[in-house]
Each structure stands twice: as structure tokens, then as C-alpha cells.
Amino acid sequence: MRSSPAGTEAGAGDDKKRSDSSEVRVLKQFAHGGNIYTCSQDGKKWLDFSANINPLGVAPGVRQVLEHRLDDIAVYPEPCGERVKQALAAHYEIPGAAILVGNGSTELLYTYFHTYPCRKTVLPVPSFSEYERAVRAVGGTPVYVYSRRRRSFAFPLAEVCKACERAECVIIGNPANPTGTLIEREQLMYVIQQAQKWHTDVLIDESFLDFLPTAEQYTVLDLPQRFEHVIVFRSLTHFYALPGLRLGFAVVSKRRAAAMQQHMYCWNVNILAQHAGIAALQETAYAEETRRVVAQEKQWLRRQLQALPGLETVKPTVNFILLHTSGTGKTAAELAAGLRERGILIRDGSNFAGLDPFTCRVAVKLRSENERLVQALESVI
């Protein structure tokens, strides 16, 4: 029996409402920082502590190259970013044939799952929400392994290894976002060796490791050439302040590189991002100054935050700090709302798996900006 027009319209309307509701839930569950595209109370530019970007901004050499090469947007970029791969290979001392470049490292994470769909993936949480989203995009199920606040979010080594027995993949952030937890290379080696027994892939996200002067103690960029089941992701977005251009890379075995490349579209990295990436890797003075400023400011900012009544902090390792607000009597959402009224954005951490409604994250910026954040927090609290 044919439905009446009114019934058809009502059904379509219901479907749209359900679709809109589902979209809102997804947006809330996987929301990120850095959303500056709404007006502040006074119409001024936001002071954005919600995104963990290099406080020095774009490197001078990168800015100069972008200005000089602007007319190149009239031509197609190099299809697979071969010159970028060569620059990355030289900078990080890894074989160019083992490198894939992407529109941010997140694109390469999704590429992995579309190439190797996993039914179950181990996620030590709290962690970057795109890990879970990439898992679910191919119909997979995340298996949470929780790090605990009472243990300063130390990496749950034994629990992760045990969970690998029943999963095809594990994703580990080093340092972890949003906690900043660092994992020693020896611990990662143990996970890799245990996972190999169960034919479990190990994906290691080192997106923030460039901020650390002692990165060589933690990086495993050399391991994909020794272990087929290891893939390492890096991002140039955060350290070189390029979130609007998007550039990241993955280090994989040569066989995996060929397989994953088949699942990537041509020209996936735009031409300005390619120019910017090559130029950024030559900015050694900028890199050294970044590490110096972040090392100094993260300690200063933590001391100031610890002095505020009711605020607790997790010891920072790179360019962001995790806060717990329960002692203030305010949730992270309430604290964020108070700061928004003062033109400041922070990252409400309540939608991270494994965190409660009293957790938020702030970036480390320059001293004058950090001072403004502390003053605003004092006022809100």
C-alpha cells in the first residue's frame, strides 16, 4: 500500500531528526580543540589554549617560502610528495622508501585501517579521539585499557600486552595526548615483541615528540624496518605550526608502504604544504628555540596553575598540561565557559575516554599569553 504524502513527509522528517541527532552525538564525542570560528564576547580574536601548536608560530623561513611560492597553487602538487619524502628521510635518517606523507598524520591513520581493517584494536586511554574514530570507521571495536589518574596516568604496560592477545592492532601515543605520558623505548620494545607473538600490529603516534630535547630516548622511527608489524606516525602540524596546511608522515615497512599507497588518492598533500614541510625541516634555529621556550614555559605555567586554589596538574612533558578541576568546585565545562567569556579557549577533556567531567587541557604558549590565562583562571575560580 502506497504511503500518503503526509506520511512520507513525516517519515523523512523523522529520519532527518535522527540523522541530525546522531551527527550531534558524534561531534560531541570526537570534538577537538582549536575551533576558533565563532565570535568571542567582545568580537576580538580568541586566545586559543585548546590547540597544542608551537607558540612561536610559523617559522620565518617557512613564511618566506610560502610567500615566494604562492603562484604554485595554479599547478598540481607532486603526486606522492617525493621531494618531501627525501627531505624527511635526510632529516630523520630513515629510508625514503619507508615513508608515506599525508594530509596530516591522521589521514595516514585512517589509511592504515582502510588497508588493514581490524575487528578489535587496543586503545590505552585517555588518548587522541581520532584513534577510536578511525577504528570505528571500518566497523572495528576499540578495546579500552585505562591508565589511572591516581598513578599519574602511567602507561599500563602489562594490561596492554595482555589485551594484545585478542586484538589485531594496538595504538599508542608517545607522548600520549592529552596526558603527556611518555613511554621509554625499552617499554615499547617489550610491547612490540609481545604483540609479535599474537600477530598484532603496533601503531605508535609520535606527533609531539619533536618538542622534546631528549626525543632519541623515546623514538622508535627505526623499528618499522626491523619489525613488519610496527608503524610510526609523525606530524609536522604541531611542532612547525602548520595546522591550516596539514602535513604528517608515517614510517612503515616497504611492503606495507606499497599496500597503503594503493589506498591513498593522488595529490593528497597540497603544494603549499609540500613546500612548507621541506622548508620547515631546515629551520634548525627555530627548532632549538622552540624546545627552549616550551621547556621553560611549561614549568613556569605549571607552577602558576598549581598555586591556584583547587587546581591539580599532571607533570607536563611537552607543550600541553592536563588539569583536574574538582577542587575548585567547577567542572571543566564550567571553567571553559568562564574563560570563553574572557576571550580564552581551553580543551574540555570530558569527552576523552577515561577522563571525568573535571578534566581539561591547556596548551603552553608564550609568557604574556600564559600570564593572561593564569589571571583569567584566577578570576573564574
For 206-257, the pLDDT digits (tens) are: 999 999 999 999 999 999 999 999 999 999 999 999 999 999 999 999 999 9
Residue 6's pLDDT band, with cuts at 50, 70 and 90, is: very low
Q: Give how far Cα 231 sits from Cα of 55, 101, 112, Å.
A: 29, 13, 9
Is the confidence at residue 120, as pLDDT, over 60? yes
Q: Beta partners for 298?
A: none
SS3 141: strand
Among 280, 299, 331, the domain boundary falls at: 280
User: Quick check: is 22 in a domain?
Assistant: no
Does residue 111 sit in the same domain as residue 240?
yes
**Domain total in the chain:** 2
180 backbone dihedrals φ, ψ, rounded to 5°: 85, 5
- 352 within 8 A of 125, measured Cβ to Cβ: yes
Do the domain assignments include residue 10? no
Q: Measuring CA to CA, which residue among 303, 289, 377, 293 is closest to residue 340?
A: 377
DSSP H helical segments within 248-331, as ranges?
A: 254-261, 271-280, 284-306
Please check whether residues 323 and 271 belong to one and the same domain: no
Answer whether residue 1 shows pLDDT above 50: no
**250 with 307, same domain?**
no
Please give the residue range of the domain that contains residue 97: 60-280
| Average pLDDT rounded to a whole number, residues 303-310 | 97
Last residue of a domain, one of 280, 314, 340: 280
Find the mean pLDDT for residues 197-214.
97
Same domain for 336 and 317?
yes
Q: What is residue 10's predicted lDDT score, i.e. its pLDDT?
A: 45
Which residues, 6+ apart, have CB-to-CB distance to 301 below 8 Å? 316, 321, 362, 364, 370, 373, 374
Q: What band does 285 get if pLDDT is binned at 50, 70 and 90?
A: very high
250 shares a domain with 135: yes
In the structure grid, which three cell numbers stand for residue 21, read together? 541527532
Residue showing cell 584513534: 131
Does residue 25 register a pLDDT over 70?
no
Bridge partners, 323 (sequence order) = 313, 360
Domain shared by 218 and 329, yes or no: no
pTM for the full predicted model: 0.90
- Domain CATH code at residue 101: 3.40.640.10
Predicted local distance difference test score (pLDDT) of residue 26: 46
The last residue of one of the domains, among 256, 280, 304, is 280
Q: Do 244 and 295 lie in a common domain?
A: no
* 356 and 237 within one domain: no
d(C-alpha 77, C-alpha 102), whole Å: 13
Residue 63: pLDDT over 90: yes
- pLDDT level of residue 43 (50, 70, 90 thresholds): low
Q: Which residues, including other chains, have CB under 8 Å from residue 314's CB and lie 6 or more apart?
A: 152, 153, 179, 180, 321, 322, 323, 324
Is 135 within 8 Å of 141 (Cβ atoms)?
yes
| Residue keyed to cell 577537538 | 32
Compute the distance between CA of residue 167 and CA of residue 279 in angstroms, rounded to an integer. Answer: 40
How far apart (Å, rounded) are the C-alpha atoms in residues 14 and 22?
A: 12
Are residues 277 and 66 in contact, defined by beta-carbon separation less than 8 angstroms?
A: no
Lowest mean pLDDT, pick from 1-5, 43-47, 176-180: 1-5
Q: Which grid cell sits at 18?
A: 535522527
203 pLDDT higher than 60: yes
| CA-closest candidate to residue 375, choices 315, 297, 319, 301 | 301
* Same domain, residue pair 116 and 180: yes
Q: What is the CATH number of the domain that holds 295?
A: 3.90.1150.10
